[in-house]
Structure 1
């Protein structure tokens, strides 16, 4: 058996300790000693994840961390951190807009001069009215769930194809295809999907539309929704071959597997994505080459085999779109003429945000860009802070061929605080931290660069979807302080936290809470010294599991412990005795003599002895330990620290009985103890 140890002097009870937690409730995790209501646990209502942090005022030695009375499931995870450089309580933002909840902060001004489409929570493509914001979703084919993306923002867009839903209006240059209109339910829930079919075998077949374009080098993208029918393959192609050097790109999509199985010509970002109801949207981008081509030839070929010229086939198609860009924007329906989509404009006056200070701030944004801008002259970003123009600004900026960049601009002088090469469709979390002439860019849990930049003044506007940004924004958070580089990195990492355990960080580990004991302990390999301590708890199973009679839903995580330890050099003696002590109330009837019992809580009592304490222990730390704890101070006793039964054998209580240190004949010291568990800690 390993040497037993004691934890005592809970730092949570220090008069200088300041506690905070993510739930922002008044009943913070305190110990019985300091809590005026010892029956009150730390409860987080309506969530299965929370954190608590302690600021001890000054650096303290720490070896033992724990939670007692923690009603957690067997799959719960915890993360312990100790730090000195920055508080482990979350930095408090002055603005925090979560757009995945489906609403706008009333201080945000939003406008759009026309209607626009978006994928809604029910899995249907919907149309938002003029000046109505769109809160978009993504379909997760693996789980068949709709995932909230947040506020959808796009610049001015267009569909250059005049017939987006009526393929019977398209040309049939080979005379061997048929179109049956309005035979199936389309992604918008209407009966407008067409069947594109061909009965030929061993020859090409297609529907074609020609679009006049300038002799330029701009990228444009052709997209279409498709669904299996009698066949499963659709070849989608663009060709520029009307006066200059020919250029083409073709992709064959398999609507059964949701993959692109064949590409021909150049591939400048061919893609496919799942939609509800078995639909897929496939797209083919192609940049013109400036050699004299002024017509884009758009072709759709139905097959029952991925290679052209094979067996006959038929597929369902809907919503053909050809537009500037490298990835498709939201659907722009057409019915005889090309159509445009107006730009979304969303701004917030920072004068309405208490605490705003342009000299020191951190801007954090979580967003989903569908792709980078079409060319370097078409840049934008999910969020920007400026003075109403681009003369002075802070911007999370997307740049073609570079990715995400942190921009600080001051009256014509431009400073770049690093760059991050994200991938198309990635959920990006990025932070731009600025203060005192210094700026830093963090994204995806990594610091991508810093730059010495001027302190900006006069910034008074937050612009969402600045310039030519196209995508969604899940969340925007603004801090009235420059987060440290480490905090900015942590804030953009998987946990989305500003907490940095620069002294100790356990990472996410199993809580290991055993039913009936309800404790989780973290014994550090060696003592550390830190001013701040924090525990994070994640227990998703608690949403559906009852624990110790407590209904699912609330996270009941007990009381927090942080302390040093004493560990005598000699071990406790055998036997160690543990017994349950009931707190029943008994009463005998005066006339009948019958005894009634009112059952109460049951607590544990542990008795043991140190029969071979060394003189250096007995006269030194162990004697001081006994003097300090007396019969009132709380003790954590761990018979086998680090062992498999640490969480079940450990007990938090007070010394009930003890014998004095005695002088033995063999120059050794002995001492016996009894520790009673605090009944109020029973979960």
Structure 2
């Protein structure tokens, strides 16, 4: 993250009022202390994803790893025993879950959810092919999803009762045979989420038999429409605070009259209306005078200029960029704004006035919970308005 001779990473004021986890360069989940940024890596390829920027979330489970605790009810023949298998954090924090038929492991956190609930857990194949996750409300209305943990593919889903929709399901390779399984169910109205974990031999069934087992680790229930980084708990629900990264424009030779921002970023938020890449504004004027670059609800990329509470430019490029890194170049000059992204040439606006900006915020809209919910791999600034041809070149 650099501009010529200056290193943006050294100029950033970074805050986060809690610890938070990320995947390190060794492919393992680790923890960053309060106010320390997280440089996240792919757990399988070890590719550097960049600065992880997320909104605040709470893991509602009080025991995310200790499945032997009484908070986790074992129905019928279901049992859990401590495992010696290395878990995604490099320790031995997992449990062997054994169940048969509709016997299961279950927990119902006491905090009510409104909107969408996302349930996730890390699972590894032992001798049974499927882990089945289910979220229902107190009236037994919800959704159920099968996850094939021997090859990392999604199985079937079915409704349980009425009134709840499965908005998202995913299975993510975490390396060493572990997958993170996630499902998001909407339609909650100040209701608790009852979370059930089954095993199965085949898709769309409850045909596990005595001795069938899988390794589980790191359960998380959060209010939100997609899973975020793992939040460990032990005895109480825990909250990860939002990531906030700011830079005073005076710190990096900002040119008020003209300039170009270059970013490479991605978002894993498929539901939010504005996933912020950067906001440039003056203190207290972020709603009226600003540059704003963000992923829209359709994962299009938008560059907006606002001056005196009047929109000066709104340039939109592409769509459907969920979980996809894109390079994006936003250039400004009076009556000469432009925006280019990977594989798409610059689009321009020739009627705009430029606001005076004093603060650059990465991945967040100040004073709101609007965040990138993704990764910033690169950020660069040029104190001049690059040509449209140059914008296309630097976004290749």
Contact 1:94–1:353 under 8 Å retained in 2: no
Taking only aligned residues, the RMSD between alpha carbons, in angstroms, comes to 2.4
Any residues of structure 2 matched to 1:77-156 within 5 Å, and which? 94=4, 105-140=9-44, 145-156=45-56
Aligned-residue offset at 1:208: 1.7
Determine if the alignment matches structure 1 residue 264 to structure 2 residue 163: no
Q: 1:478: which partner in 2?
A: 381
Determine if the alignment matches structure 1 residue 176 to structure 2 residue 77: yes
Aligned match of 2:339 in 441, 446, 462?
Answer: 441
Taking a change above 3 Å as real, the CA distance of residues 96 and 238 of structure 1, as seen in their structure-2 partners, is farther
Aligned-residue offset at 1:345: 1.8
**C-alpha offsets along residues 75-98 of structure 1, whole Å, 9 cap, x if unaligned?**
xxxxxxxxxxxxxxxxx955775x
Q: 1:432: which partner in 2?
A: 330
**In 2, Cα distance between the equivalents of 1:139 and 1:458?**
42
Contact 1:206–1:300 under 8 Å retained in 2: yes
* Structure 2 unaligned blocks of 5 or more: 160-164, 366-370
Q: 1:454: which partner in 2?
A: 352
SS at match of 1:146: coil
Contact 1:114–1:131 under 8 Å retained in 2: yes
Taking a change above 3 Å as real, the CA distance of residues 393 and 94 of structure 1, as seen in their structure-2 partners, is farther
Contact 1:195–1:315 under 8 Å retained in 2: yes
* Structure 1 unaligned blocks of 5 or more: 1-91, 98-103, 494-683
Contact 1:304–1:314 under 8 Å retained in 2: no
Any residues of structure 2 matched to 1:275-294 within 5 Å, and which? 275-288=174-187, 290=189, 294=191
Contact 1:418–1:440 under 8 Å retained in 2: no
* Runs of 4+ with >6 A deviation: none
Any residues of structure 2 matched to 1:193-212 within 5 Å, and which? 193-198=94-99, 200=100, 203-212=101-110
Aligned match of 2:67 in 161, 167, 171?
Answer: 167
Q: 1:328: which partner in 2?
A: 227
**In 2, Cα distance between the equivalents of 1:183 and 1:368?**
36
**In 2, Cα distance between the equivalents of 1:204 and 1:410?**
60
**C-alpha offsets along residues 497-545 of structure 1, whole Å, 9 cap, x if unaligned?**
xxxxxxxxxxxxxxxxxxxxxxxxxxxxxxxxxxxxxxxxxxxxxxxxx
Aligned-residue offset at 1:241: 5.4
Taking a change above 3 Å as real, the CA distance of residues 477 and 95 of structure 1, as seen in their structure-2 partners, is farther
Q: 2:88: which partner in 1?
A: 187
Aligned-residue offset at 1:402: 4.9
Aligned match of 2:263 in 359, 362, 365?
Answer: 365
**In 1, Cα distance between the equivalents of 2:136 and 2:350?**
47
Contact 2:300–2:316 under 8 Å retained in 1: no
The count of residues paired between Structure 1 and Structure 2 equals 379
Aligned-residue offset at 1:434: 1.8
Any residues of structure 2 matched to 1:250-649 within 5 Å, and which? 250-265=144-159, 266-288=165-187, 290=189, 294-312=191-209, 313-354=212-253, 356-372=254-270, 374-376=271-273, 379-389=274-284, 390=286, 391-414=288-311, 415-447=313-345, 449-452=347-350, 454-467=352-365, 468-493=371-396
SS at match of 2:392: helix
Aligned-residue offset at 1:289: 5.1
Q: 2:132: which partner in 1?
A: 235
Taking a change above 3 Å as real, the CA distance of residues 480 and 394 of structure 1, as seen in their structure-2 partners, is same
Bigger RCO of structures 1 and 2 (CA < 8 A, at least 6 apart): 1
Taking a change above 3 Å as real, the CA distance of residues 251 and 95 of structure 1, as seen in their structure-2 partners, is farther
SS at match of 2:47: strand
Contact 2:199–2:208 under 8 Å retained in 1: no
SS at match of 2:10: coil
Aligned-residue offset at 1:183: 3.7
Taking a change above 3 Å as real, the CA distance of residues 192 and 383 of structure 1, as seen in their structure-2 partners, is same
Any residues of structure 2 matched to 1:51-66 within 5 Å, and which? none
Contact 1:418–1:450 under 8 Å retained in 2: no
Contact 1:94–1:480 under 8 Å retained in 2: no
TM-score by length of 2: 0.87
SS at match of 2:176: helix
Q: Which deviates more from structure 2 when the two are superposed, residues 385-394 or residues 335-344?
A: 385-394
**In 1, Cα distance between the equivalents of 2:199 and 2:67?**
12
Larger Rg: 1
Q: 2:162: which partner in 1?
A: none
